[in-house]
Structure 1
Amino acid sequence: MNLKTIFPFLTWIPLVKNTWKDDFIAGITGTVVVIPMAVAFAMIAGLPPVYGFYTAMITPIIAALFGSSYHLISGPTTTSSIVVFAIISKYANPETELEAFISLAILISLMAGVIKLLMGVAKMGKLVNFVSTSVVVGFAAGAGILIAVKQLKHVFGIKVPLGSSFYDILKHIISHIEETNVYVLAIALGTLIIAVLIKKFIKVLARLHMLIAMILGSVITFFIGGENLGIDTVGYVPSNLPPFKVPNFSFDNMKMLSSGAVTLALLGLVEAVSIGRSISLHTHQKINNNQEFVGQGLTNIISSFFSSYVSSGSFTRSSVNYHAGAKTPFSAIVSAIGLMIVVLFFAKYASYLPIPAMGGIILMIGYKLIDITYIKKIIKSSKREFIVLAVTLIGTLFFELETALFSGILISLFFYLEKTSKPNIAVFGKNDKDKFINIIRDDSTQECPQLKMIRIDGSIYFGAVEGISNYFSELYDKNGGEHLLIISNGINFIDLAGAEWITQETLKWQKSGGGIYFVGLKIISQDVLKDGGFVKKIGAHHFFKDKNSALSAIYKKLDMDFCKTCKVKLFAECK
């Protein structure tokens, strides 16, 4: 096996001697950007801020070394964080059982990593293609709303009962709105407004809008004496590198977290591969899904031994990395090392961050997850895709997150199978311009009274056999005994059930004095027919490469007496 397959970093490391300046600048930019995000994501996950830092330090390095994308930056993400909180909070409350909560969060990261790695080794990268964009958009929108609602207690300064659901939080906030702490609300909204204004009007500082807003929010809180006004701060943040610690293995805990780990693995892979692909549209780099699975798997496994929780590809950081001029994954390593330096020497200042300010920033992060433009496009273009999006979004708000995700995937697959189970069947004839064409497209088109021509667009597989069989039954009842030519270049593949049906149907028409013939059948569609011995049963003379040879051979089998009285004279042989 090629060493570069096992160690992908061997491919890009030689490039660094020419790109290190661009990568260094992009890396430093990434360090600044990740500081507020790491704190925010950790809070979303129900973890102390330092775990956001730990995850943002370790995971980019491993993903850079073993992933396939040159611009994808891994680390804590919004969706993964909300899923971690939703799963772990069922078994441990972060406010009363923090140590148990952290332990389970790190364990599920390890489990998700193992699942990702195994999927990559098993070459299951194509599975991501079966998760429709509507599912991802719906899940992200639902997660964004859920994140925002869960921050309302920090924005209004209203205590909400532990473990409250989406509906319960809204109901409690509305019914206790008179308890709002105006100072808390002012800091939260003030921080949010500052971030929005900087991003919109000060383009030079746009990438730092969250960091600047949080710093200003902290300064304002300090000067007004926030602690005396009921404004809580993040508190002590350790200024040390991620400590090595073996995750707390427990069979009972692993069994309990298994379904959640699968959800995190699937969601993380979809997220990472989607981001890598979106950037590759601009860079023209070929993304290897299987290698990305392996890279993400190793990232979660190794980082879990360094007190990190589950990570995936970060859209924001990856986008910033690309636009900052990064050329190789070396920029991700620079970013991680830069964050280590910041935490070692400046972590103490993070303790002054007001929780309401973080709440305001998280409101913005939640809003960014709602892709309004794409949702409008889905609503306009496809009712089915909208149903998939709506089910996933509503499920995210009111049910378990894994239930919502898998429900969306199952419904999208159902719609796909339903669509492919009804291949389009068009009836062909010849028009007055002597061209073969679908009869519904031209009023001058005529059909041969003895030879029916149809084109099947789709696959003949177990899911489609019933629908095609019904069409052929109606056709046989109306025209039993005549000949049927199937224009087959639109048939993508034929499975065993399809081959069985084709054979039985052809023999049935042959017994009635007619026959079914195929022209232009793709080689891949012939594999099962040939390997299964179905071509022998049907007769090799029923398969043709081109239309002219097919019509010439079939014409000889027609009723010549009828042909003499026929006024259509559709084929060259007729004339």
Structure 2
Amino acid sequence: MSADTPPPSSPPPESHESTETAEGPEHTSAAAYRLSRLLPFLGWMRQLSPGDARSDLIAGLSGAVLVLPQGVAYALIAGLPPAHGLYAAIVVAIIAGLFGSSRHMVSGPAAAISMVVFGTVSTLAAPGSPEYLPLVLALTCMVGIIQLSLGLMRMGALVNLISHTVVIGFTAGAGVLIATSQLKHLFGIALGDASSFLGTWWALLGHLGDTSWATLITGLSTLLSAVLVRRLNRKLPWMLVAMAVGCGVAALLGGSAAGIPMVGALSGSLPPFSLPPLGFDTLRSLGGAAFALAVLGLIEAVSIARAIGVRSHQRIDGNQEFIGQGLSNLAGSFFSCFAGSGSFTRSGANYDAGARTPLSVVVAALIVLAVLLLVPDVTAWLPLPAMAGLIMVIAANLIEVAHIRQILAVSREEAVVLVITFLATLLLPLEFAIFAGVLVSLVLYLNRTSRPRLVEMAPDPEHPELGVRNAERYQLAQCREVVILRVDGSLFFGAVDHVQRKLARYTGKHVILLGTGCNFIDIAGAEMLEIEQRRLRDAGGSLSMCGFRMYALEVMERGGFLERMGRENYFHTAEAAIASLRDSVAEAHRAHGDQPAACPDCQLFGPAGIGPGQGVRLTPPLA
């Protein structure tokens, strides 16, 4: 994510939040509702009170103090001059605030997004070259178009296909990459063309003797002061304090005369208008990266909006957030901005500062614009190693250690997804890292769903009121002629082979499939059941079904499978299915020289027997 999640705090007083719903207000006309969807800012503007405006002004001032150093830092991460980070903090933030559904989320430059921009475009043009910025703008424009298109097509649920584990692994990898990219500025070493993760470390280790100690001391002092201030009080402007410390240390060491490089002054002008070059070659070379970046930006924005919405009791419209993010990046590409998304740090700080509406975001952006125009020399004496130290703290905040530990401890499959996504982020082009994580997630999910459990069940004589239960877990004796199997999973084409191999163990027996854990049966699954029933019957056994949900049997009903298998072999309860086998089981026992009452391991057919209304509860549990 963009940075660390802000600490929880109590909601601001006099909250005038109105819960937004995807269906629209009940007492407004259809035309007004459509207008509110087209121009969502009209809704909160009409409700804006003087108290709300006052709170938003205060929150906007706090947001500007926070975004100024962040905008500069994220521009450097993206390989761009500092002014472009502030352009994104103005244009992207305002458009996303006006057209999104969240009243507190702050969009603009973000750490992981900036890293993807650099990782993508730097493979096509060197940062600082005449070709670099146009490619960044083209990428931003494509991201905006994709996001806006997904929003207009009502694809807000798309973000649910990307697991949280993939995002955690990617952002952790991005954090490591960001920190690695700043090592040359921290140590004051020229690393030549080395840009990859392994190449940067190899070049750095080979040139440690060239370290500039004045540069290193400046960077480390900034880094340590940032960590210390954040630990003392997260509400303090720790980035500004750390930058002040770095500037002071650099001045004491001699500044640029001692070889310490400076960031340089800002342009002091409005964001210049420019047309992104969207030629065929550009579209072809940036298409995959644009889609990956668009999806990553949407995941970040929607997850941040929802997290803040939980605290503010506001329901978030995912589709509207898609539209807001798409419009902001599309408009930003025409005003020299690189791609942006939501920021956890700035959004949380905005809410904690008492913001009521997106007016706070507009106020913060206008303050940044004023600084850009009136005080362009604010970064002229800012040491580059100080910014490197600050960026490394931001990068460390992307690594969510608590979540990573939880994933590693809870699930082996999720741990595999996390590790593969993390390594792919470090070693592959960044646009492929997310795809790699998603692909691994889907493969593991399909592997899990294609292997539904067939759990042997049996009545519990000590607790007959509980019905059939897990025979292995509760150490229950089973009739050797009858097998009750609970299907835990859907019977679809991917599970057919697994289920058939499991059923092959019970050839010649009477098998009852308990479907309380089955939600779906497709044509391949229905055909498999028909085949298995015929095979078991030919071997002297049978296959009956009970407890399946009706919507799981729709395919079998429409395809005539139930008719061919015999409706008399489908039962609504396990009780009825068991009772129907009394004569067949008795004959099998006699064939083995036993009487049903004398069968030592038979809990189904003893002296009391199981008949209608006896022994097994009508609705078998999932225990």
User: Scaled by the length of structure 1, what TM-score is found?
Assistant: 0.92
Partners of 2:289 and 2:431 within 8 A in 1: yes
Displacement of 1:163 in angstroms is 4.1
Partners of 2:301 and 2:343 within 8 A in 1: yes
Partners of 1:125 and 1:290 within 8 A in 2: yes
Distance (whole Å) between structure 1 residues aligned to residue 149 and residue 116 of structure 2: 21
Displacement of 1:270 in angstroms is 1.9
- Equivalent position SS for 1:492: coil
Change in 2 beyond 3 A, CA 1:532/1:239: farther
**Of 334, 351, 364, which residue of structure 1 is paired with 2:393?**
364
**Of 238, 244, 249, which residue of structure 1 is paired with 2:267?**
238
Q: Deviations over 1:223-262 (max 9, x none)?
A: 6541211112112312223233221221111111111111
Distance (whole Å) between structure 2 residues aligned to residue 484 and residue 509 of structure 1: 8
Change in 2 beyond 3 A, CA 1:532/1:269: farther
1:484 and 2:490 aligned: no
1:192 and 2:230 aligned: no
Change in 2 beyond 3 A, CA 1:466/1:281: farther
Distance (whole Å) between structure 1 residues aligned to residue 558 and residue 331 of structure 2: 47
Displacement of 1:510 in angstroms is 4.9
Partners of 1:392 and 1:405 within 8 A in 2: yes
Matches within 5 A, 1:218-367: 218-222=247-251, 224-367=253-396
- Equivalent position SS for 1:440: coil
Distance (whole Å) between structure 2 residues aligned to residue 25 and residue 276 of structure 1: 21
Distance (whole Å) between structure 2 residues aligned to residue 514 and residue 461 of structure 1: 24
Residue in 2 that maps onto 1:100: 131
- Equivalent position SS for 2:190: coil
**Of 547, 566, 575, which residue of structure 2 is paired with 1:520?**
547
Residue in 1 that maps onto 2:159: 128
Residue in 1 that maps onto 2:45: 13
- Equivalent position SS for 2:175: helix
**Of 58, 65, 69, which residue of structure 2 is paired with 1:36?**
69
- Equivalent position SS for 2:403: helix
1:438 and 2:505 aligned: no
Q: Deviations over 1:134-161 (max 9, x none)?
A: 2212211111111111111111111110
1:466 and 2:493 aligned: no
Q: Larger % of helix: which?
A: 1
Change in 2 beyond 3 A, CA 1:413/1:31: same
- Structure 1: gaps of 5 or more residues: none
1:65 and 2:101 aligned: no
Identity percentage over the alignment?
A: 38
Distance (whole Å) between structure 2 residues aligned to residue 242 and residue 540 of structure 1: 73
Distance (whole Å) between structure 2 residues aligned to residue 543 and residue 327 of structure 1: 59
Residue in 2 that maps onto 1:55: 88
- Equivalent position SS for 1:149: helix
**Of 543, 556, 562, which residue of structure 2 is paired with 1:529?**
556
Partners of 1:34 and 1:56 within 8 A in 2: yes
Distance (whole Å) between structure 1 residues aligned to residue 38 and residue 582 of structure 2: 62
Partners of 1:130 and 1:413 within 8 A in 2: no
Distance (whole Å) between structure 1 residues aligned to residue 207 and residue 546 of structure 2: 73
Change in 2 beyond 3 A, CA 1:461/1:5: farther
Distance (whole Å) between structure 1 residues aligned to residue 585 and residue 289 of structure 2: 67
Residue type matched to 2:439 in 1? L
Partners of 1:450 and 1:558 within 8 A in 2: no
Judge which range, 504-513 or 315-324, deviates more: 504-513
Distance (whole Å) between structure 1 residues aligned to residue 105 and residue 522 of structure 2: 39
Change in 2 beyond 3 A, CA 1:508/1:23: farther
Judge which range, 20-29 or 85-94, deviates more: 20-29
Displacement of 1:364 in angstroms is 0.7
Partners of 1:269 and 1:312 within 8 A in 2: yes
Residue type matched to 1:308 in 2? C
- Equivalent position SS for 2:458: strand
Displacement of 1:220 in angstroms is 4.2
Partners of 1:61 and 1:333 within 8 A in 2: yes
Residue in 2 that maps onto 1:572: 610
User: Scaled by the length of structure 2, what TM-score is found?
Assistant: 0.85
Displacement of 1:93 in angstroms is 0.5
Distance (whole Å) between structure 2 residues aligned to residue 500 and residue 287 of structure 1: 44
- Equivalent position SS for 1:558: helix
Distance (whole Å) between structure 1 residues aligned to residue 532 and residue 358 of structure 2: 58
Displacement of 1:399 in angstroms is 2.1
Distance (whole Å) between structure 2 residues aligned to residue 457 and residue 280 of structure 1: 36
Distance (whole Å) between structure 2 residues aligned to residue 14 and residue 533 of structure 1: 59
- Equivalent position SS for 1:429: strand
Distance (whole Å) between structure 2 residues aligned to residue 248 and residue 404 of structure 1: 26
Q: Deviations over 1:290-327 (max 9, x none)?
A: 33222222221122112111111112112212222333
Matches within 5 A, 1:86-165: 86-95=119-128, 97=129, 99-165=130-196
Displacement of 1:53 in angstroms is 0.4
Change in 2 beyond 3 A, CA 1:449/1:160: closer
Partners of 1:33 and 1:207 within 8 A in 2: no
Residue in 1 that maps onto 2:445: 416
Distance (whole Å) between structure 2 residues aligned to residue 207 and residue 496 of structure 1: 62
Change in 2 beyond 3 A, CA 1:465/1:157: same
- Equivalent position SS for 1:486: strand
The number of equivalent residue pairs is 565
Displacement of 1:455 in angstroms is 0.6
Q: Deviations over 1:261-285 (max 9, x none)?
A: 1121121122222222333343343
Judge which range, 207-216 or 140-149, deviates more: 207-216
Displacement of 1:557 in angstroms is 6.6
Displacement of 1:437 in angstroms is 1.0
Residue type matched to 2:240 in 1? L
**Of 418, 424, 440, which residue of structure 2 is paired with 1:389?**
418
Q: Deviations over 1:177-232 (max 9, x none)?
A: 2221111112111111222222222x2x7441101221342344346541211112
**Of 571, 584, 593, which residue of structure 2 is paired with 1:544?**
571
Q: Deviations over 1:310-365 (max 9, x none)?
A: 11111211221222233333322222222222222222212221111101101111
Change in 2 beyond 3 A, CA 1:562/1:139: closer
Change in 2 beyond 3 A, CA 1:518/1:353: same
Distance (whole Å) between structure 1 residues aligned to residue 515 and residue 252 of structure 2: 77
Distance (whole Å) between structure 1 residues aligned to residue 519 and residue 362 of structure 2: 45
Q: CA RMSD in A?
A: 2.4
- Equivalent position SS for 1:16: coil
Partners of 1:198 and 1:206 within 8 A in 2: no
Residue type matched to 1:155 in 2? L
- Equivalent position SS for 1:257: helix
Distance (whole Å) between structure 1 residues aligned to residue 569 and residue 94 of structure 2: 60
Distance (whole Å) between structure 1 residues aligned to residue 530 and residue 610 of structure 2: 30
Q: Deviations over 1:71-91 (max 9, x none)?
A: 222111111111111111111
Residue in 2 that maps onto 1:82: 115
Judge which range, 260-269 or 521-530, deviates more: 521-530
Partners of 1:57 and 1:340 within 8 A in 2: yes
